[in-house]
Structure 1
Amino acid sequence: MDIDVRSGSGLRERTVEAIGLGIVDGTYPPGHRFANQDELSAQLGVSRNVLREAFGSLRDKGLIEARPKTGTIVADTEAWAMSDPDVLRWSVASRSAPTTLRHVAEARQIIEPAAARLAALRRSEADAEEIVRLCEALAECADDPKRIEAELALHRAVFRAAANPIVAHLAETISGALMGSPSGPHSMPGDSADTIGTYRRVAEAIRAGDGAEAARVMAELVQASAPEPLDQP
């Protein structure tokens, strides 16, 4: 993998991105020892201080660990913080990662219909209007590159309306993973009108306070956009 973080801003973040993706995609496999950090910092074009800060972030994500008399090594995949948005995003972006789009879709199948049901039961009037507004904004850019951004905004609004901070955190985690997928969160086969129409049904169910319908239609969205058929919950 060609890694170069010398351009752009946020050297620490870019260094975390370069090494983190390298770990997840197998460039640095579990057990790999970062023996020569001077060489790595030179390769990345960053200082030892920046590299040290990046390693701290990667330890927090469970990707690396420090062992006495061994140094800094890549941790086993079981130790990786898969609930971390960056780790999940890198996994989705890498075909060789232990986490796949199917795993993400299965998690969404569990979380998102339940979140839509809670949103319908708990949403404020402002929440409901925001969800409807974002749905219409999505319709306006259905065939535009900005569609993914608009779709994620709607996705997050539904989760916020569920009024559960744990659900909101899970939303950000899943959204981070979906940013690594070129298809976006709920892209359905066929005409983009299919996706927009289904989103409108979710929005209307939430506005009407119909939790069962909101959950059913959200489950339909997840099923239709999955990379392969999912088992029914």
Structure 2
Amino acid sequence: MTAPILYCNRESGHSYKVALALRLMGVPYEQRPVDLNLPREQRSADFRAVSLFGEVPVYVDEDGLAVCQSNAILDYAARRYAKLDGRTPATRVRVREWLAWEANRLAMSFPHLRFSRRFTRADPVLEAWWAARMQSDFECLDRHLQGMPFLVGDAPTIADISCCGYLFWTGQADVDLAPWPAIIAWLERIRSLPGWSAPYDLLIASPPISAGTRT
């Protein structure tokens, strides 16, 4: 067996949530940065060999199995290493419900808004749609977290890691979390977890994303 590999990019919240989960699980791995400025067909041969969709992140485990898509990687890691998962079959179902919600809702709003405001500006109508959808998503998340320490029960799971992935970058999109105090408190609890590290501290350097890039 060889050490696991995480193909990633320092500006990718999807990469960050996988890197953070592995760190909190205590799983050692090697990071290999991917230049997102390059067209997918021009990215490194070793990355293209394991990436089904040409996107980061991709996790290659100790046995050489490559897993793509961040929430699929989180699900796989939680099962493989028996950490950051629900404690019962019922709670594990709840965890995966949040993974599906994040992929369909949160990942379709704030990350795009941040990318537009930080890297490549989108059409104002589209940016306004992302902002409105983000507000609805944040309201849903905040409402659920009121009176709850984590998304599923009293311990962190991959559901929390999935949903928090981009939210340490709200300032980059000029988004103030003040209207959502339960989210602010939840993010502080995540920051307090042993082993937590901020995105730019955890992910190694990769080529900066250039203005005009569309990943």
TM-score by length of 1: 0.29
More contact order relative to length (CA 8 Å, sep ≥ 6): 2
Q: Which has the higher helix share?
A: 1
TM-score by length of 2: 0.30
